[in-house]
Structure 1
């Protein structure tokens, strides 16, 4: 299913202030791009204080949105499938919203280790706000984020008139930590999808990422069973299967041996050689 540009109904556009929280790492010139769309746009960089001051150029931006037809919001809506922003609503001023979100930039894992959170990533926001912890809302009444895999929008609503104070540092519970681990895996599969679309546009089956998702999960599962763990190793394995284009490994014993037979070579070295053999077979008609 393709992500619809139709947002959930009954969002409080007329009663509350709308904000976009945008990931500043997606576009190197995000502030300038927003100014081009609307010279009067109001933005607040969350990385405007220690310890993030040196990273201000790639800071998440909190952007005030006066109405849904505004140019910046329409730009976001057309790009929402890339999951680089979150739509927020609040009755509080922008300063209060920004101060609350800054409390979530650095959090703690269940064992107490500090980590930096990509809060503007839609999947990360979904994992957090979907956990049910009302402290995460603070002055926010509603959080809306796109899901390009399932092809719909998630909406999370504050259930309390006044949310409890969010103490810092915020510590994840085990369930939230597991949800963020799944976000990391999901992001790896989305990057694999982008890789395959870029280099093997005829290979992926399905017009949308949701339709291709079972194939991406199968590739990851097969690669993991072979001891391939890194992103580059997963990409190499996907290259092998894409070059073979439907023929099985059993039809290519030299490639199968490289992948399945332990040797002094590291798994990453063997899968790179296997990808080279598969490429030669596909381009030169060699029968390995």
Structure 2
């Protein structure tokens, strides 16, 4: 993902470029596949590198718009689930003591809006809404999960402390990471449609594929624009999160279809983005409960 947005000031652009370079230097989907099998060595290297760059601290201090851009890079680069969750938590929790410990000592945090918490099995802190506890103070039941690099866990607190949280920041973080996943999936697909040929023509020249790519690009731009608007107007957060949850999985599944049969194999990274996006979507669903219920009522008779 290239930093092309002209609205960013020079300092912010440099910070985002440093983050992007660090992620590309120390992480890849090849390493994610190793992580999936239990090899966490490179994930620790990545976490230490981010700590040395003070990216955890900067995530706390960044403006909402800059934080959103950082989350988009996190999504596009498919970080280990616990790192994605930790960066979400840094924006959402308001306990300064805990935030400082995470930023300085780099413990891991898992956060959710309800008691199904992704990556809680790897966390030092578990946060469910306004309840916060150390890992030793919770009972976990690891569930069968779409994304084995960010396992869903059912959490029961043995004891916890009341810790106010910023619901809007968590919603914006999830929506921004979803945008990052969609951006990378669409980038991969556009590149593939230019080089893959059928009947001696790039498949991107075929009307059906061309129209699908354009539709998805428009959908993605709409979602991203709403997310960035929500960084300035928090009343837009729920709508931005809902739209990201609705549009991003479709963009990624469209990308898989464009790849044809190969798109469904482990040789292509698209399914990794889809797994992560659906995991984020599932745990954020309670945050848009009312708007989601209204949408379902409006479309319950639709045939798709």
Global fold match (TM > 0.5) = no
Question: Whose helix fraction is larger, Structure 1's or Structure 2's?
Answer: 2
Q: Which structure's CA Rg is the greater one?
A: 1
- TM-score tier (shorter): under 0.3
TM-score, length-scaled by structure 1: 0.27
TM-score, length-scaled by structure 2: 0.26
